[in-house]
Amino acid sequence: MKITLLGPPGCGKGTQAELLAKKLGVLVISTGVIIRNLMESGGFSKEQEENMNKGGFLPDEQVIKIVEDEISKKEHSRGFVLDGFPRSLFQAESFEDFEILDCAIYYSVSDSEVVKRISGRRQCHCGSTYHVLFNPPKKEGFCDDCNEKLYQREDDGESVVKNRLLAYQEKTQPLIEFYKSKGILLEIDGEQKIEKVFEDTIEALKL
Ligand code: AP5
Ligand code: MG
């Protein structure tokens, strides 16, 4: 199955992507994770890094190339769960020349919940994500999976979150109509407990 997860920053795309990929026996392709890793190894210019840390998006062409290169790998031949891509109409339309998605899942979450979730998020370099209240690690400040120290993302400050929400509304929200018109959109109430959101996802996908 080829699936993309849509929704505002902090709606739970990364969290649900991991659960869903495990259930489907495929891998997650998260542009946010790939881009942050590439940034660490100097794969983007200083200006691009600053733009991202202020809540802006990276150039469409560059991100499309990253995703298409990744999908071409053998390990994704059985399908994948995309997290954070496509994120603009241009990305969605260009991607259709490369791959046709089976389903786009949209997690609806209010702006106030987004702020709560992002301010409490803690991250590990291995990719695992926690929340200090909603999904705490067993040992405070350390990853359950690899015991590394957790950190806060550079773009998780409150003023940056506002910019990320604006970028989402302007550029990504139109994708809801785009996938609806293709008949592949599933909308899930993302403002429930993690387990319930996952349950609804599985049910909507008839898995
Ligand atoms: P990206 O990393 O994708 O960030 P985002 O879309 O802003 O989404 P987040 O990762 O912040 O949230 P999420 O929806 O994954 O939620 P999570 O599961 O972590 O992208 C970052 C940047 O990269 C972009 O701003 C852009 O610059 C660039 N970029 C990426 N893709 C791009 C593209 N295609 N084109 C151009 N630029 C691109 O959950 C959040 C928190 O809430 C966690 O702490 C979690 O534990 C908790 N939580 C999750 N679900 C629930 C729940 N149901 N109840 C309570 N808490 C919950
Ligand atoms: Mg994420």
By most ligand atoms within 8 Å of CB, the mutation choice from 33, 54, 134 for ligand 1 is: 134
Phi, psi of 89 (to 5 degrees): -60, -40
Per-residue pLDDT at 126 = 85
SS3 content of the chain, % helix, strand, coil (to 5): 45, 15, 35
Residue 138 lies in a domain: no
CATH of the domain at 27: 3.40.50.300
Could you please report the per-residue DSSP string of 70-136? Answer: HHTSGGGTT-EEEES---SHHHHHHHHTT---SEEEEEE--HHHHHHHHHTEEE-TTS-EEETTTB-
Q: If DSSP codes are grouped into helix, strand and coil, which group holds residue 68?
A: helix
Print the domain residue range for 53.
2-109+172-205
Per-residue pLDDT at 100 = 97
Ligand 1 pocket check for 8: Cβ under 6 Å: no
Per-residue pLDDT at 158 = 85
Q: Residue 159 pLDDT more than 90? A: no
Quote the number of domains for the chain. 1
Burial of 149 per CB tally in 10 Å (0-12, 13-18, 19+): exposed
Ligand 1 pocket check for 58: Cβ under 6 Å: yes
Mind listing the pLDDT tens digit for each residue in 99-127?
999 999 999 999 999 999 999 999 998 88
Q: Residue 203 pLDDT more than 90? A: yes
Residue 171: pLDDT band with limits 50, 70, 90: very high
- Euclidean distance between the first and the last CA atom of the chain, given in angstroms as a whole number: 11
Residue 199 lies in a domain: yes
Protein residue with least CA distance to atom 39, ligand 1: 12
Residue 158 lies in a domain: no
Protein residue with least CA distance to atom 30, ligand 1: 32
Summarize the confidence of residues 78-97 as an average pLDDT: 98
Ligand 1 pocket check for 57: Cβ under 6 Å: yes
Residue 72: pLDDT band with limits 50, 70, 90: very high
pTM for this predicted structure: 0.96
Mind listing the pLDDT tens digit for each residue in 131-156?
999 999 999 999 999 999 999 998 99
Mind listing the pLDDT tens digit for each residue in 3-62?
999 999 999 999 999 999 999 999 999 999 999 989 989 989 999 999 999 999 999 999
Protein residue with least CA distance to atom 56, ligand 1: 134
